[in-house]
A = this chain, B = another copy of it.
Amino acid sequence: MKARVHVMLKDGVLDPQGEAVRHALGALGFDGVEGVRQGKVIELDLAEGTDEATVREMCEKLLANTVIESYQVELV
């Protein structure tokens, strides 16, 4: 089974990487880009029967820095 985890910076946390992308898109002539946030997506290939709670524990312990990042778990 597979799980997909999205890790994004929380609202209000400065995202310089996203800001750089926004600026670069403007410089390339793409108008109307009002904001960009960049995060991580982690695709996990797991043993059958792994439950969502285990994946959430992985997020808390390793995948996300919960002080500044939020995460979403999706089992596929």
Residues of A whose CB lies within 8 Å of any CB of B are 6, 8, 18, 21, 24-25, 28, 30-47, 50, 54, 57-58, 61-63
| Residue with the highest number of chain B CB atoms closer than 10 Å, among A6, A18, A32, A35 | A32
Nearest opposing residue in chain B for A36, CB measure: B44
Given A25-B62, A30-B57, A37-B43, 18 other A-B residues pairs in contact with their CB atoms under 8 A: A6-B41, A8-B43, A24-B62, A25-B58, A28-B62, A30-B54, A31-B47, A33-B46, A33-B47, A34-B45, A34-B46, A35-B44, A36-B42, A36-B43, A37-B42, A38-B43, A39-B43, A40-B41
| Residue with the highest number of chain B CB atoms closer than 10 Å, among A8, A33, A47 | A33
